[in-house]
Amino acid sequence: MTIHREGKNWVLGTLSAFVIINALLLITRKQQDWISLLVFVVTFVFLLLVLQFFRYPKRSVTRNENCVIAPADGKVVVIEQTVETEYYKDKRIQVSIFMSPFNVHANWYPFSGRIRYLKYHKGKYLVAWHPKASTENERSTIVVEKDEKKSVLLRQIAGALAKRIVYYPAENDLVKQGAEMGFIKFGSRVDIYLPLTAKVKVELNQKVTGKISVIAELE
């Protein structure tokens, strides 16, 4: 387990604040009392929360080009047939994974292919499970295509706490299943849009693990 590169400044800043605040209390207060103890506990808990949020687990992936693996840790909150209006403009199967503040927030490519479409959208910060979050929140849209039949759209969606989406690909990049795609700071959701012929392998409220859990099989 390591700290994700997106969190190194956060961890360094939080650690510095923890040391400085508690050192000043130690120097300025003649004796340690309940106030000093309370400040220590609060700052220590905040430091632990930042550390766990930006943790980055070491995981290996067994690549299967016929499968779509989970792009994120979290809980499956949506499985439904819907119309994707930004890129495909037709009916797709949508699978959404909600990431709580306690999940790992790195995102990975669910299968290999070429980046055919990439766009960042500024937006609102509605709660991630809000029906309009997919179209109104801050978000990025990434389409990975292997061939005409095997194409998947991924949408990173910021939530009420998230204020920044980070993504690493560029259009026309060749990407590998399980490689790192990006990071959503402080919680949110990832939507996956699959072809109607895909066989979904997860259920509502199921917890999934990024790079490991199989979301669907592509025909």
Catalytic residues: 188
Tell me the C-alpha distance between 56 and 129, whole Å.
24
Among 192, 194, 179, CA closest to 112: 179
Among 57, 145, 159, CA closest to 104: 57
Q: Which residue has the tokens 């290999």?
A: 112
Tell me the C-alpha distance between 62 and 119, whole Å.
29
Tell me the C-alpha distance between 11 and 9, whole Å.
5
Determine the 3-state secondary structure of 132 from DSSP.
coil
Distance set, CA 207 to CA 3, 11, 34, 41 (Å) = 23, 27, 40, 31
Cβ partners under 8 Å of residue 137, min gap 6: 123, 124, 125, 126, 128, 130, 157, 158, 159
Q: Which residue has the tokens 């508690």?
A: 22
Element (H, E) at 185: strand 180-185
